Structure 1
Amino acid sequence: MNTFSNLRGPKPSTYGVFISCGDDTRFSFTGFLSHSLNNRGFYTAINHRDSIQHCRIFIFIISRDYASRLDELVNIMDLFAKGNGRQQRILPVYYHVNPSDVRHQSGSFGEALSSFYNNLLVSDFEVEKRNTVLRQVADFRGWHLDPARGIYEHQYIEEILQEVSKHLACSIGLDHRVEKVMRCLNYRSNDDGVCMVGICGNPGFGKTTLARGVYHFCGGIDFDCCFFFDNVGEHLMKHGLVHLQQMLLSEIVGHHAGTMFESLDIGIPSTIKHILYQMKVFLIIEDVHDSEVLRAIVELTTFFGSGSKVIITTQEKHLLEHHGIEIIYEVEKLDKKEAFQLLSLKAFKSMNFKSNYLSILERAETYASGHPFLLEVIGSNLGGKDVEECEFVLDQYEMIPNHEIQKILQVNFDALGKHCQRMLINIANQPKEQELSLVEDTLYKMYGACPKQDIRVLFDKAFIKSNELGQVKLHGLTLDMVRENSPIEYPCKHSRLQKDILEENMEYPCKRSRSSKDTLEETVEYHKQEILPSSNDGSMMRDPMEVEYQPCSSSSSQRSILHISEV
């Protein structure tokens, strides 16, 4: 078993993608998918077990004949169960089988599975083990390829390519930075008290991405408790310092009467101290910018057991130094090679690019100066444009100093259609990190039309992202920019967009046109009150999962990834 002290960092990925498939798709769908991935520069291994340890993305093509690959599936899922695969991504594809049948081993898939088990005389223990793994895979987001839907296979392949591109873009330059943080955490031996490491850097430099990379790589290994606490600043504004302290203790020691105190200043009860002293804790606190908060966190860590590891992320290096945190990692800019990879992935959804775009990428890389978030924003806005259009966009950027990121984001926001601008504003003003399906349902109820095309554009332009749980999120810099344009957050102030909403009629496909004034009033009203289960006239509102969208085009740009766990 790996222990924290002998971990040095993630192994480099020889292949980007591992594909596991049955013989019935090997030379058809899987072959076309592999060919497309390789053409985009994503090195792919198919059913090559020696490559499992070196891949970052695992695609399971689950079909009727997939039973013969179940041992391979079990091995990969074991990596995740042991914490060795947390930097990887699992993407299931259900090829002409029902996801529900895979989850419950029923239907045509269940019949094929039973036949396979009977022919090999598989023991009941092994059958249950494989069935458990199938149920685990069914909890991941993926695609259901059903001929009855009338969607071409190449459209699914394009969407899979986009998902692979998004995940690999997030990991560019991450491995060796995770390794450096790991060295910092191993600076002190496990017998030498608590090791605290600070991660600092400018907004958009990838502090949170790096912290999550460390957490996913080593969280759960050799620790009694692992906890990642993000958006501390926002939590503090809503609930206060005492609630923050109580929540931290409750996460570490569990629900206990001793965690309900008025302040750490009056002291932690001896019963809680005794529990903490016995515990080896791995704690990451993200986005700390208040000196009093950091003081309370540092004081709390003095009660942790020996060998505990704590990471604090902040923009201010001096804040860490002031509170005695000596081991500090300053997040580095991306080098030129990494910057080109990120630009290419965001602009072309590929690691390869045409030679006539080389000067475009060089200009973008020089302007962004290795800033990860800026490279992502610029690359996303270059996507789908010819060389001349790209040059025009870069001319706009270069008139803005590259440290004024809000103004750069504003260029991208202004380039959106008004429909997308409204969608983005409403997403920004909804509760954070909601499921994609819930966001779609909410927008559908608000506007009465299919929102998927606009949401796809927002994803492609890097205004919104999805985390490993399929929840929609916005970067803090994007959120600040959107709120500057939002009539919802600042109702007494006329934003730049408010005038456009009041003057322009908004028309959506599949529905009658409605005045933009009505839409603005409806939007503001929506955020003034909760949506109740029934209206004043007694008519019941439908459950979000029961909403049927108006018919949209079957193009991939208007489909969202199926959330398999809802099946």
Structure 2
Amino acid sequence: MDKGKIQRKRKRAQKESTEGASTSSFISPKLTGQGDDACDVFLSFKGSDTRKEFTDHLYNRLVNTGTVSIFVFKDDKSIPIGEDFSSQILGAISRSKISIPIISENYATSKWCLRELIHMMDCKNGASHIVLPIFYKVKPSDVRHLKGNFGDAFRSSQKYFDEKDIQEGPRALREVSDLHGWESEKFANGNEGELVEEVVKKVLSKLQQDFQLDVTKHLVGFEDHVSKIRNWVDTPASAARMIGIYGMGGIGKTTLAKSIYNQLLDEFVHHSFLANIRETAQCNGIPYLQNQLIEEVLQIECQIRNVDRGISLIRSKFKGKKVIILLDDIDNKKQLDA
């Protein structure tokens, strides 16, 4: 293909991308959204309505959560030139765990937004795909019944749609309007900043399940212990709280700690589980564990060389953050201090 054709194809792909669909994505050099790569979140929106405002704020808040590594598909960076736009977009939705359609007044004027929504609802009905809709300055009832400005905008654009879009689009709109989502103008009196925070919190809550520790199911005799520790944790405190579980080997201390850790994950922004501290410290040294803790909580690479430097960095960088840390098999106070 000559250079002129390549440039024209690139422009067509970019135009379709900006007219229709998504601009999102948790950034990672390892994930491109191509092939069999799995995504965590797919954002679908009408670019002219929300790209530079609400969607941009939501996207940037998601990618800067500083917690678990989350990946979101971004169409203008994840689709190689020359690849089929439709198959790449729909494939990204299929591989995502969560889809967030930001349904605005002109959302249904885009055939790509409609096709994305149709595929999202099909994925939800046929698998464990999660759809979290945001009704941005539109009423769910208007989306459901194609009323008001939303309905007028849809009907005025039907001449550009394929027959399949015209038939299945309204069905997908009805289905998504039946889901429990957020109405931007009703949530927090229209405060979009608070809405963004709530959406991010919900996404993290859904994704935290992937980071739960492996615990034997149907444990017997643990409920009382878990309840007692949960009461201590839930008591308001102005400073970091430390809870120790001690006893002879083999009585289930680690299992109990893992169970509590899993229950508490949703309530914390950052988390870390350091296993077998006694053995790891003997084999690799305490700075190795400090590096692991910092990398898991802050999502940055770290090269701690000595214990004192690690203590100083943890003290300064963790300050003000909501963190849950599980330290397993400590047998020396120096390990805890570090």
- TM value normalised by structure 2: 0.50
Greater CA radius of gyration, 1 or 2?
1
TM-score, scaled to structure 1: 0.31
